[in-house]
Amino acid sequence: MSGDDPLAPAAEGPALHEERLLRRYQALMGAVPQSVWVMSPGGEVTLLAGGGIAQKLWHPDAGTSWMDAVHPKDRDWFQRAWRGATRQRSPLDTIVRVRLEGALDRFRHIKIVAAPVVEGDGEVEWVGTATDAEEHWRSRMREKLLARMAAVPAAHDLSEAFLTTAAAVVPELADAVAIFRVRDGVQAVGGPSGASGAALPERVGLAPGLPALPPLDAGFLLGPVARRAIEGQEARLLVFPPGGPTGQGLSDVSVRWLREAGATGVALLPVVVDGRTVALATIATCRGNPPPDEADLSLLRDVFQQMSGPLRRTMELQSIRGTTLALQQSFLAPPPSVEGLAIAALYHPADSAAEVGGDWYDAVRLSADALALSIGDIAGHDLDAATAMGRVNSMLRGLAYDSGPAASPADTLRRLDRIVQALDSPSMVTVVHAILHRREHGGWHMALSNAGHPPPLLIPADAPARFLHGLTAPDPPLCVADCLSRSTLHAILRKGDILVCYTDGLVETPDSDITDNLRGLRERSDALARRGLPLPSLIHGLLPPLHHRRDDIAVIALEAEPDG
């Protein structure tokens, strides 16, 4: 029966048997999508079997090496990986982009598996396989990028959302990403030959080593090709000749930067939300890296399409913010003009749409020689808080005017507390309410009541600043209990003295101590007062740095009988 075995050597000689086994091995290798290669100790690569992807790849000529075929972005890390495997004589298993035959800027992802074979003299020969991994890599990359985008929440402003998206694709898919908000659609400027779209420049992502983008003002005009992408809501792919773009419908500013960056191509992707183009993403490859191809464009389109959800939510937040700010501003009337007093006020909204709405200030003349002053904060930071603020502010103004100059601020706040709890049951309210009377021999007498609010700051003309609070803690806020007794504090404003009332956004910041912040406010006020600044400049100087402003801030200040 052994004579029936087709592999038995008894039926043929050893040489014929080995030749037959080799043909079978070659036939098997030709039937699978892998190519088997061998690299000699001298670095010469020979294709052993299996056409597969290897026949489509670039082959080195004299004086070149296989490393020249590796994508420029992959070359450094692939060289390190190869050298490490050679030094340790360990297998290598990785995916790398390799240039295709006959194309300078077309590459394919190839899975390289290589194993060392140590010869008797100690030299190392490598045997490996090459497998087309393009679809596998793109599928994995798509999943990776879409997962990043799915985790992006609605941002408080569009810049934040755009920056997150740019960071998702640089430097893996592109070298530079700039995103432009489309303003009121696309506005034609200058006639058919020079029409372009008005856009607002947004955040960008740049790979290391690229030149900074030139400063762009709010009226930056995109070129005609960008306009067509926006109007048609279709992605466009531009591939540049050596030396960079020669125009191709791009703006002059864009052409100059692309040439300086050594750009090889640009993809233009309109970002569409609810059928409206809200932004244009421009994605560039630079410094000799191959331009994006149609497959890259498809992947980028999928990634940027994922922006529509977060952008929709962001735009909704911005709409709420705009409504809230408009409502807020409608209740913040300019302070009245009062002889013998300089009055200045400001309102600074928080950077976040979720942090706008509860703060207010007010000043109303009760007579020629009397003024009611108030500042307060409604718990909450949304449209409901802004609405409640408007009601409380209006009621306090009405009560103060009805009660007249002789009223006690504590009694007025007690009446306000009872009315608000009966009518609205809002969240907790903190407020300072004061009445100032002109003194016969100059200056002003002030009576104030504090319902749980940060203490007003008095900056005397001839002494260090100090906070105004009584012998005990401030009275409780409004809307925390019924029939609370409230106290009144008295002070004198002499010529040149300044009173500053503010909301907690001025002194409360995350990860900081309120006592330290109050001390810092007092020290800043002393330093600014010594400089003799006008009152509006002084209160602006009290604002914390922009990156510390997490809450909205209201400030109103008085200076008694200022010079001039």
Write down the pLDDT at residue 502: 95
Report d(CA 122, CA 134) in Å as an integer.
Answer: 36
Residue 30 has pLDDT above 60, yes or no: no
pLDDT, average across residues 332-336: 78
Read off the tokens for 335: 């302070």
Which of residues 547 and 293 earns the better pLDDT score?
293
For 153-213, give the DSSP string.
Answer: PPPSSHHHHHHHHHHHHTTTT-SEEEEEEESSS----SSGGG--EEEEEEEEEE-TTPPPP
pLDDT of residue 279: 80
DSSP string, 242-274: TTS---TT--HHHHHHHHHTT--EEEEEEEEET
Which residues have C-beta within 8 Å of that of residue 232, sequence separation ≥ 6?
270
Q: Is the pLDDT of residue 47 over 80?
A: no
- Give 249 or 370, the one with higher predicted confidence: 370
Per-residue pLDDT tens for 507-554? Answer: 887 777 888 889 999 999 999 988 888 999 999 999 887 656 667 889
pLDDT on residue 518: 92
In this predicted model, what pLDDT tens digit does every residue of 447-475 receive, in sequence order?
Answer: 999 999 999 999 999 999 999 987 667 89
Distance CA 544, CA 85 (A): 55
Indicate the pLDDT class of residue 220, thresholds 50, 70 and 90: low
The H or E element containing residue 326 is helix 308-331
Exposed e or buried b per residue across 473-493, where buried means at least 16 C-beta atoms within 10 angstroms of its C-beta:
ebbbbbbeeeeeebbbbebeb
pLDDT of residue 484: 84
Instruction: Answer whether residue 29 shows pLDDT above 80.
Output: no
Q: Is 470 exposed, middle or buried (0-12, 13-18, 19+ CB in 10 A)?
A: middle
Residue 247 is predicted with a pLDDT of 73
Q: Which two tokens stand for residue 536?
A: 């509006």
Q: What is the pLDDT of residue 1?
A: 42
The model's pLDDT over 360-413, given as tens digits with 9 standing for 90+, comes to 899 999 999 999 999 998 876 566 666 777 788 888 989 998 999 999 999 999
pLDDT of residue 321: 60
The confidence score (pLDDT) of residue 2 equals: 45
Question: Residue 190 — very low, low, confident or very high, per pLDDT cuts 50/70/90?
Answer: very low
Q: Cα–Cα distance between 179 and 201 in angstroms, integer?
A: 7
What mean pLDDT do residues 171-184 have?
78
At residue 6, does pLDDT exceed 50?
Answer: no
Between residues 146 and 347, the one the model is more confident about: 347
What's the pLDDT at 493?
95
pLDDT at 353 over 60: no
Burial string for 7-39 (b: 16+ CB within 10 Å, else e) reads: eeeeeeeeeeeeeeeeeeeeeebeeeebbbbeb
- Burial (CB < 10 A; 0-12, 13-18, 19+), residue 365, is middle
Mean pLDDT over the full length of the chain: 78
What pLDDT is attached to residue 464?
Answer: 93
Residue 310 Cα to chain centre, angstroms = 12
- Phi then psi for residue 208, to 5 deg, are -60, 145
